[in-house]
Amino acid sequence: MSLYKRPFGAGSMVAAAAVGMAVLVFGVSSLRAEANSAPPPPPPLPVSVIEADYDAGLSVEDLYPGIVAARRETSLGFERAGRLDALSVDVGDRVRVGDVLARLDTRALDAQILAADAQTAEAAAQTALAEDTQARQSQLLERGHISRQRFDEVVTSTRAAQARQNAAAAAADALRVQRDLSVLTAPFDGVITARLADEGAIAQPGQPLLELVEAGALEVRVGLPRQAASGLEPG
């Protein structure tokens, strides 16, 4: 049995093209129909336009964080080392400028001052003797009983005695300064806010023992940006 194959000629091609064109036209028509069936967009909202006018009397307030603190606050301690003999204030106590707050033990220092005073007195006696000797030797020099060299030696001895007396007096004064530094006083009126040691403790130079905050005088500390700070004036 033989199969018959119909040749695909020009007529068949025209028919296929016609079918494709019909499908394309149908698709475009469907898209247009869907587009025409979509709801219209909403109308634009009305907007009122107001022209801004500059008002020279308008003021704008800026707020900046800050803190209220005492104008002065300090840590108090001794300039010299020593055993804490007395601490007469506690937290919350109000003090006045010059009030004694604490003391160091000065018994050893007092003994050193007595010894220094004794050395000063001895040096003063030697100076007086040297000055009297120089006065007598001066008379002998005028009479020609001693040489100039001998008199110069006496003058040198007198000056050495005076120097020893001055050194002894300076040493005694230095010890008295140390004794004065053994007393801690309030530098201004205020309130004790911290007590950091007790009697019997060994205090070191510069070690904080008390915290003092000035009473009554307060100040406001506010951090400002550079632009705002540049426009401020004192008062």
Q: Is residue 93 part of a domain?
A: yes
State yes or no: pLDDT of 140 exceeds 60.
Answer: yes
204 and 114 co-located in one domain: no
Q: Worst-scoring range by mean pLDDT, 5-14, 79-88, 93-102, 145-154? A: 5-14
Q: Is residue 188 part of a domain?
A: yes
Scored b (16 or more CB within 10 A) or e, 27-63 reads eeeeeeeeeeeeeeeeeeeeeeeeeeeeeeeeeeeee
114 and 140 co-located in one domain: yes
Alpha-carbon span 104 to 90, nearest angstrom: 17
Q: Which residues contact 168 (CB under 8 A, 6 or more apart)?
A: 116, 119, 120, 122, 123
Indicate the pLDDT class of residue 5, thresholds 50, 70 and 90.
very low
Domain holding 125, by residue range, is 107-181
Q: Is residue 148 part of a domain?
A: yes
200 and 152 co-located in one domain: no
The predicted model gives 191-209 an average pLDDT of 95
Let me know the angle formed at the C-alpha of 76 by 71 and 80, rounded to the nearest 5 degrees.
150
Count other C-beta atoms under 10 Å from residue 92's C-beta: 9
Q: CA distances (Å), 117 to each of 83, 105, 123, 166, 174, in order?
A: 24, 20, 10, 12, 11
Contact 158, 136 (CB under 8 A): no
| E-state strands within 9-157 | 66-70, 73-76, 82-87, 94-95, 100-104
Q: Is residue 173 part of a domain?
A: yes
CATH number at residue 202: 2.40.50.100
| E-state strands within the chain | 66-70, 73-76, 82-87, 94-95, 100-104, 183-185, 190-195, 202-203, 210-214, 218-222
Provide the pLDDT for residue 22.
52
Phi, psi of 227 (to 5 degrees): -65, -40
Provide the pLDDT for residue 83.
96
* Tokens standing for residue 21: 């064109």
State yes or no: pLDDT of 35 exceeds 70.
Answer: no
173 and 120 co-located in one domain: yes
Provide the pLDDT for residue 8.
44
Q: Which residues contact 170 (CB under 8 A, 6 or more apart)?
A: none
Number of domains in the chain: 2
Alpha-carbon span 214 to 209, nearest angstrom: 17
Provide the pLDDT for residue 1.
42
161 and 207 co-located in one domain: no
Q: Which of 214, 217, 230, 234 is nearest to 96 (CA)?
A: 214
131 and 193 co-located in one domain: no
99 and 113 co-located in one domain: no
112 and 215 co-located in one domain: no
Contact 190, 95 (CB under 8 A): yes
120 and 214 co-located in one domain: no
99 and 154 co-located in one domain: no
177 and 187 co-located in one domain: no
Q: How far is Cα of residue 120 from the mean position of the Cα atoms in its chain? A: 46
Q: Is residue 171 part of a domain?
A: yes
Domain boundary among 181, 203, 229: 181
Provide the pLDDT for residue 216.
78
Q: Is residue 172 part of a domain?
A: yes
CATH number at residue 140: 1.10.287
Q: Is residue 154 part of a domain?
A: yes
Q: Is residue 122 part of a domain?
A: yes
The whole-chain average pLDDT of the chain stands at 84
Contact 209, 69 (CB under 8 A): no
177 and 192 co-located in one domain: no
pLDDT in tens, 167-186: 999 999 999 999 999 999 99
